[in-house]
A and B are shown apart, each in its own frame.
Chain A
Amino acid sequence: MDDKIIEIKNVCKSYSDKPVVKNISLSIRRGEFVTLLGPSGCGKTTTLRMIAGFEQPTSGTILFNGEDITLLPPHKRNINTVFQKYALFPHLNVFGNIAFGLKMKTIPDGEPTVDKRGNRVQKMRHLTKAEIKDKVNAALKMVDLEDYGHRAVNSLSGGQQQRVAIARALVNEPQVLLLDEPLGALDLKMRKDMQLELMQMHSQLGITFVYVTHDQEEALTMSDTIVVMKDGEIQQIGTPTKVYDEPANAFVADFIGESNILSGTMVRDCCVDISGHKFECVDKGFKYNEPIDVIVRPEDINIVPVNDKQCLIEADVLSCVFKGDHYQVTALTHGDERNEIIIHDNVEVNVGDVIGLYIKPFDFHIMHKSRLINEVEGEMHDKNVVSFCGGRFECVSDIPDNAPVRVKVDFDDVELTDDEEDGTIGATIISAIYKGSYWQYIVRTDTYYDFFVDNDYEWSIGDRVGIKIAPDKLQIEEVRREDEE
């Protein structure tokens, strides 16, 4: 299959030097339902807007049917958009809104003729009123709003406005339909109905849908392909099943579905060590004693009696909540390092019970850690003072002044303070993942360096914190400037 309708090649986008989309490459096949999924601010909407033509990439190209459309204005693209807040024209009624695009459309009129110079000339004409009326009525019928043509758009409910917005885009017969969080403003039940209807429309019309959402369930339900994005970068591209079952990293696992994310080490092939317990798994090819992330889905953990021979590890029940089709159990594992685990099972347990846990070997998902240590370029400022990320940190080092250095800090040696002023530099929490017994944060400094921080306390994404590092925890190496010699 090489029928690519849209190809995005090495596209970057920054707003006044702040990168929003970082070197994205993606191909979309004809007729595919692709979902761009990610938390707010991950660049998914910007990517969609670049496909629509409202934004132009800072670098990179976008191909449409093999043609470069990177700089083509939106009105010349055979692509239509359903906007987040519908953007229905308030001065037109439903009919006028849907007919808006048709009134400007030109179609070939008759057979091409040959003019005096021998060039083939194709006469174009606008659609007639009757043609427009037929098309609008057909579109209204498709979205079940047959008798609503004369209504003012503001007299419609949210769901009906949504349908008009979809009809307004589809009536132009685009090759690609872009949908920017179209169901975000609807209530849950309406959203479920619209999901099904959109899927039906997709399979009936056979055109390509590119869908943007932050709702992982929506993405899993509707898409052929999910593109998980974070922080302007693509984390994983795959089918819903693949993205759910084999998340590429801890972020994807955390974002899609619920999961237990724990730190561990690979003892040898098919054996992982988590907090001193060894478990059988099916992953091979990791370095021996490589630190890794282990992901276990809550529904893949089975509760068994403690004396059962299947029992891999014992745990204390902290809570048990009925969720309709399962119980959600939170349990604290036994051992030197205790981890908090979430379990979905259909047996009821009591708080304080000791239970056994069993996990099948192939339900341990092992993945490389995206980073093992924080490493940042800096400069010696003075004896025992190093400056990096816009701050001056005390350190223990006798490297001469002004020498360029590389600074390394372990995840758990970075201290976070509630008050930004208490830290050496200020930073913003941009990601938080619970790892059984502690939180792993990604903290972005004002100079756009991301520190990975392991910490027991809880902050929310977007919080401002201060960063402090003890002098003896800074590992400093001098960087030799090879190009100077």
Chain B
Amino acid sequence: MKNKPKFKFRLTRRAFAYPYMIFMLLFVVVPLVIILINAFLDDNKQFTFQNFVEFFSDAGGGLTVLGNSLVIGLVTTLICLVIGYPVAYFLAKYHASSRVFVLLFILPMWVNFLIRTLSTKALFMQLNVPLGMGTVLFGMVYNYLPYMILPLHTTLVSIDHSYIEAAEDLGADKMTVFLKTVLPLSLSGIVSGVTMTFIPAISTFAISEILSSSKIFLFGDAINMHFSKTTNSLGVGSVMSLVMLLLVILSNVAVNLTSKDEEVSAL
């Protein structure tokens, strides 16, 4: 018989991507589909919109928690931006020795964030600082500052110095040069820094719990709770996860839109 099997495995470059694709399918796509299905099922596995009604009517306080999370996320992002921008600016401006300094600012990222947060808590306890909103914000800023500085630094370093010279040449003093050229030209860095801080900040769950002794409850904590065994409300938890996902997608779309503008103008 000359009939050979039609499919013959050939080791092309594409084959190297298969393990990852299988991994993604199993651990990203499938769970997402399960969450999507769960969102429409009640406890007896019957189709229902009740989960959505429950969440959006704020019956379990889910919507309030989301509001709180967004506010805390925004405040964290704002503080990170206010602290991070000058740092990134001076690192970019005096770039001779900045590699070491950039490293210094990135260094905390090398320590596991749970360990970091727990040690921060230990420090606060030692210093008799009452745990609450202040300590939570501190923990958030401390954790997410590097994510703000990195994209800002990258953008600021890549700004062509001739733009600054052109502005000076046209009569701008140092302040005007900054406001009218550096700031607008670093907009894409600001946007990606803000997203990289804001998205994890609204979805975080451990930091608020640890640094407020579970007094402050954020969206991430709420999702975590819904999926834990004690409450067993998978449906509402799934709806909240979907809301989270939607927020992340929206933020990414916003980033893409601004960076596309940037690309067009860079041509």
Contacts and interface: CB of A to CB of B under 8 A. Distances in A.
Interface in B236-267: 264-267
Interface string A70-110: 00011100011101110111110000000011001100000
B162 interface: yes
B171 A75 contact: yes
Interface stretch (B18-26, B29-37, B52-60, B178-186): B178-186
Nearest to B176: A104
B266 A154 contact: yes
Contacts of A168: 170
Interface in B151-198: 160, 162-163, 165-173, 176, 180-181, 184-185, 187
Nearest to A101: B170
Given A87-B163, A89-B181, A154-B265, A104 B168 contact: no
Contacts of A85: 160, 162
Interface in A374-417: none
B191 to A, nearest CB: 13
Nearest to A99: B170
B169 A91 contact: no
Contacts of A83: 162, 165-166
Nearest to B184: A91
A90 B170 contact: no
A198 interface: no
B39 to A, nearest CB: 42
A366 interface: no
Residue from B166, B173, B184, B264 with most neighbouring chain A CB atoms (10 Å): B166
B171 A87 contact: no
Contacts of A79: 169
Contacts of B266: 90, 154
Residue from B163, B166, B169 with most neighbouring chain A CB atoms (10 Å): B169
Contacts of B184: 91
A52 interface: yes
A91 B169 CA distance: 18
A100 B170 contact: yes
Contacts of B267: 154
A85 B167 CA distance: 14
A152 interface: yes
Given A100-B180, A154-B264, A154-B267, A89 B169 contact: no
A54 interface: yes
Contacts of A225: none
**B interface, size bucket:** 20 to 34
A80 B170 contact: yes
Contacts of B171: 75, 101, 104-105, 172
A363 B184 CA distance: 60
B8 to A, nearest CB: 49
Interface in A57-78: 73-75
Nearest to B163: A87
Contacts of A101: 170-171
Contacts of B168: 53-54, 73-75
**A interface, size bucket:** 20 to 34
Contact of B169 (A81, A88, A90): A81
A164 to B, nearest CB: 12
Given A105-B171, A152-B265, A168-B170, A89 B163 contact: yes
A90 B165 contact: no
Contacts of B173: 73, 75
Nearest to B185: A91
Nearest to B166: A87
B167 A100 contact: yes
B265 A87 contact: no
A340 B267 CA distance: 48
A79 B168 CA distance: 11
B172 A89 contact: no
A75 B162 contact: no
Given A91-B184, A154-B267, A168-B170, A54 B176 contact: no
Nearest to B183: A91
Nearest to A98: B170
Interface string A443-472: 000000000000000000000000000000
B170 A172 contact: yes
Contacts of A152: 264-265
Interface in B114-153: none
Given A105-B171, A172-B171, A81 B264 contact: no
Contacts of A88: 166
Contacts of A81: 165-166, 169
A183 B184 CA distance: 28
Interface of B: 160, 162-163, 165-173, 176, 180-181, 184-185, 187, 264-267
Interface of A: 52-54, 73-75, 79-81, 83-85, 87-91, 100-101, 104-105, 152-154, 168-169, 172
17 contacts: A53-B168, A54-B165, A73-B173, A75-B170, A75-B171, A75-B173, A81-B165, A84-B162, A87-B165, A89-B166, A89-B167, A89-B185, A90-B265, A91-B184, A100-B170, A105-B171, A169-B169
Across the A-B interface, give the 9 residue pairs with the lowest CB-CB distance, nearest first. A101-B170, A87-B162, A87-B166, A90-B265, A74-B168, A91-B184, A104-B171, A81-B169, A75-B171
Given A75-B171, A104-B171, 17 more contacts: A54-B165, A75-B168, A75-B169, A81-B166, A83-B165, A85-B162, A87-B165, A89-B163, A89-B185, A90-B265, A91-B187, A100-B172, A104-B170, A154-B264, A154-B266, A154-B267, A172-B170
